[in-house]
Amino acid sequence: MGTPQAAVPTLRRCLEDGHEIAAVWTRPDRPSGRGNKVSVSPVKEFALAHALTVYQPARLKDDEVKQLFTSHNADLAVVVAYGRILSEHYLRAPRSGCINVHFSLLPLYRGAAPVNWAIVTGEAETGVTTMFIEPELDSGPILLQSKTAIGPKETVPDLMNRLAEMGADLLSETLKRLRQLTPRPQRDRDATFAPILRKEDGIVDWKLNAFAIERCVRGFQPWPNAHTKIAARTLTIWNAEPLHRETSVQPGEVITAHGDDLIVACGNNTALRLIDVQPEAKRRMSARDFLNGQHLKAGDRFG
């Protein structure tokens, strides 16, 4: 049970390890892009390419859907970023329950966006957890965990690609050792949360120090992205470098706008050098190209 690209390596590994895939469940196809062309999930695309049976129920609460899930007579369900909360019926239908591959070191970062918030909050490391699923969100007993350092320039897509492969390896090891493993209860008092992202999460608060803003630039990709306003139009920031600067300039004020240098004042005597940006309704571009088409000067304000 999975939907995005991050779930594909685990499905692939299940096949490579010789497990019989009774069925693949993924979210329904949906229109996307300017032409509202119907797009299929990466998991569905992979499953169909490997002649696997795919189901895409719109409502898990329907009795027919529950009966369909039970009819698979599965030993185990593996869940990776499926995008739906599973009720008690689904959790108890497979003989050995449901195992989730979660992209954090639980109980840290329970919730929908663990990789994003790990970067935004400045964690030095993260990882992958396999666990039995319980009704309460991401609270089930832990089976195995694997850690990795977060690179100083790593974006969410980069880190997610690594974690997806780590998750496939960890799930493979989990299934091989399942009868020998002793599930370890989580300590709820240590839990932190990674709530679903909102568009407004990406709004740059220039009063923050530049190092925190740069983490938002990396951590809110590919959506909602770190974005701000300049001359009443949205500017998305794709790549930036934090700087220490002794300056009395107000946060959000342009310090330098010349050549390759577009530097904006932030809180705590710091500044942010914008490297790659994307003006509203235009392509991603370098700061130099942006400045060539936008007559910015020192003293102009972002936000």
Q: Are residues 110 and 245 in the same domain?
A: no
Q: Are residues 178 and 289 in the same domain?
A: no
Q: Which residue has the tokens 């571009």?
A: 285
pLDDT at 202: 98
Asked if residue 299 belongs to a domain, the reply is: no
**What's the CATH number where 26 sits?**
3.40.50.170
Q: Are residues 235 and 189 in the same domain?
A: no
Asked if residue 69 belongs to a domain, the reply is: yes
Q: Are residues 161 and 215 in the same domain?
A: no
Q: Are residues 119 and 134 in the same domain?
A: yes
Which value, to the nearest 10 degrees, does the dihedral of the CA atoms of residues 163, 167, 173, 174 take? 130
Judge whether 147 and 103 are in contact, CB under 8 Å: no
What pTM, to 2 d.p., does this model score?
Answer: 0.95
How many structural domains does the chain have? 2
The values of phi and psi at residue 207, to 5°, are -75, -15
**What's the CATH number where 213 sits?**
3.10.25.10
Query: Which CA distances in Å does 247 have to 45, 176, 252, 266, 270?
Result: 53, 58, 12, 10, 8
Closest by CA position to 14, among listed 129, 143, 177, 175: 175
Two structure tokens written together for 180? 């020998």
Asked if residue 298 belongs to a domain, the reply is: no
Q: Are residues 166 and 268 in the same domain?
A: no
> Which of 140, 171, 194 corresponds to the end of one domain?
194
Half-sphere exposure of residue 107: CA atoms within 13 angstroms, side-chain side:
14
Query: Which CA distances in Å does 101 have to 22, 142, 226?
Result: 19, 10, 28
Asked if residue 301 belongs to a domain, the reply is: no
* pLDDT in 10s for each residue of the chain, 303 residues: 999 999 999 999 999 999 999 999 999 998 876 677 888 999 999 999 999 999 999 999 999 999 999 999 999 999 999 999 999 999 999 999 999 999 999 999 999 999 999 999 999 999 999 999 999 999 999 999 999 999 999 999 999 999 999 999 999 999 999 999 999 999 999 999 999 999 999 999 999 999 999 999 999 999 999 999 998 999 999 999 999 987 789 999 999 999 999 999 999 999 999 999 999 999 999 999 999 988 899 999 999
**Count of CB atoms within 10 A of residue 185's CB?**
11
> Which of 139, 160, 194 corresponds to the end of one domain?
194
Asked if residue 302 belongs to a domain, the reply is: no
Two structure tokens written together for 176? 């091989």
> Which of 175, 194, 213 corresponds to the end of one domain?
194
Query: In 268-284, which positions are buried (b, 16+ CB within 10 angstroms) versus exposed (e)?
Result: eebbbbbbbbbbeeeee
Q: Print the domain residue range for 114.
A: 5-194
CA 128 to chain centre: 13
Asked if residue 303 belongs to a domain, the reply is: no
Q: Are residues 161 and 135 in the same domain?
A: yes
